[in-house]
Amino acid sequence: MAEPAGTALGAYRALLGAQARSQTAYRVSFVVDLVGNVGAVVFDVLTVFVLFGVTRELGGFTLREVLVMVALSACSFATADLLVGNIERLPRYVRTGLFDAVLLRPLGALPQLLLMDLPLRKVSRSLFGLVVLVVAVGTADLDWTPGRAVLVVLAPVAGVVFFGAVFVATATVSFYWVESGELANSVTYGGRDFTSYPVTVFGGWFRAVFAYGLGFAFVSYQPALALLGRTDPLGLPAWVGWTSPGIALLAAALAAVAWRTGVRHYRSTGS
Amino acid sequence: MGSVTATVGPAPHPNVILWFRTFAAIAGSGFRRYATYRQAAVAGVVTNTVFGFLRCYLLLAVAAGAGTVAGYDPARLATFVWMGQGLLAVVLLWGWTELADRVRTGDVVGDLLRPVHPVTSYLAADLGRAGYAVLARLLPPVLVGPVFFDVYLPHRWSTAVLFPLSVVLAVVLCFGCRYLVNATAYWLHDVRGPMILWTLSSGVLAGLYFPLRFLPEGLYQALWILTPFPGLFQAPLDVLVEVDPPAVQFALVGGQACWVAVVLAGCRVVQRRAERRLVVQGG
């Protein structure tokens, strides 16, 4: 206990190293996974092209403008999924009692869970999302200002934090409802699909809940408007595009509270 | 005669009634097995419904510019989406690795010792599962959709006959495809690669993300001729929303039936080869 911080860091590094070795042990399998994971983003982008093959505009936006939103969404989601996404295995850990073992160790429960199976194969998807973002922003004819240059970096980072918060917050449901199964997917993967398109595509209370109630409008739609220099058809002022880092931090704080409450509420399966 | 594998021996049942009884018993156990996961079914329904909203708004936005796209008017698109969200769990495109898991752990040997061919017994269990899914997973989104969107209600007598048939064929076809993907475990042990390929291609090529008719005509026809994917999902939905004249509806279901025959035959061949290989390995 002489240098607790150093010891903990070493332990985390050991966990990560073990993961890296075990996941790359079967090389062919790992390479197939790397390639396969890129496919998910490829199909997301292809879907947009197919939709624009039968229509000229989507929710009042052109292909180039929608591609900026898809790219912001894909890049943010893929990276958050790489870093935090495996928290969606929490229901299994709770059911099998593995979570007990995690709590017994003198390390933080959340970092342990994330490092215990950091899916290295998803690195490819995250990198490809970044490529899509660079291409989309490059072809969108942006009117560059220093503010937009900062925003184009800040927005995906904020998106990663936001989606990470969503992953953690929805996973805590399994502390209360062990067999919550796909429930979290409706907000995580649903959020990814929602943020891939302009908010104007959706309507009614559904849009109100997803875009502003849950905050998904701030992942790609509002920042994209600010980048493209377009006024919001829904009437929000232009500066709202720059609020996404703040919204992301707020979401992270709420997720942290949810996680702490969940862990405190946790009782072992007891079997 | 003189067979070296467990399942190619003489017919273990003397008559066909007994065979049907066995099949029904396995299907019934499949039904009961899935009926026990009630919380999971509720969670799945909620998720399917949320995605129903997402996809419905998206396709309606696509149609908003053009009015009618690829033969679908907005009401047909709404029916396509909501029935599709219900069918997703019935057909079960994703998430079945039972055979692959049993191959990896060696439990599959137990299946080979039974007097029922493994393809038959897994198919029976899958039909039981699909039967439960019709009640628990198909109905909720199909009932929610019309509350929020104008949907298209079919009105031809031929649809009433063809749609249920088309759904059953889609379930069997999807089972066959999943069986083939799982069976790669006999050779590869680790099925993650084939599974990822299957997950990616089945979603896009079966018509989940967008109706396949949004694609250029030639590409759509090539998909039907070269792959079983349109028969998994797009075909029953196209039959239901009556985008084609009745003759084409019959042709779609006929196409599904052909693919079912090909894929199930493929399953039996693959299973036989796999059993030979297991014998060689001494497993």
Q: Do B204 and A46 touch (CB under 8 A)?
A: yes
> Which residue from B63, B70, B192 is facing A29, i.e. has the nearest CB?
B192
> Which residue from A36, A54, A186 is facing B196, i.e. has the nearest CB?
A36
Output the pLDDT for position A258.
Answer: 93
The token pair at B17 is 């009634």
Q: Do A178 and B39 touch (CB under 8 A)?
A: yes
Q: pLDDT over 90 for what percent of chain B?
A: 59
Q: Does B261 touch chain A (CB under 8 A)?
A: no
Output the pLDDT for position A205.
Answer: 94
User: Is B121's pLDDT higher than 80?
Assistant: yes
pLDDT digits (tens, 9 = 90+) for B169-228: 999 999 999 999 999 988 887 788 888 889 888 988 999 999 999 999 999 999 999 999
Q: Does B10 touch chain A (CB under 8 A)?
A: no
Q: Does B16 touch chain A (CB under 8 A)?
A: no
Q: Looking at per-residue confidence, does B64 or B265 come out higher?
A: B265
Give which of A54, A124, A173 to mutate to test B binding, by max B Cβ within 10 Å.
A54
Q: Are B255 and B235 in contact (CB under 8 A)?
A: yes
- Cβ-in-10-Å burial (0-12, 13-18, 19+) of A4 comes to exposed
| Residue of chain B whose Cα is closest to the Cα of A57 | B65
Output the pLDDT for position A145.
Answer: 92
pLDDT digits (tens, 9 = 90+) for A229-263: 999 999 899 899 999 999 999 999 999 999 999 88
Count how many residues are written for chain B: 283
Which of A45, A87, A76, A64 lies closest to A218, judged by CA? A76
This model of the complex carries an ipTM of 0.89
Judging contacts by C-beta atoms under 8 Å, the chain A residues touching residue B215 are: 50, 53
HSE, side-chain direction, 13 A CA sphere, residue A89 = 18
User: Is B283's pLDDT higher than 80?
Assistant: no
Q: Are B200 and A39 in contact (CB under 8 A)?
A: yes
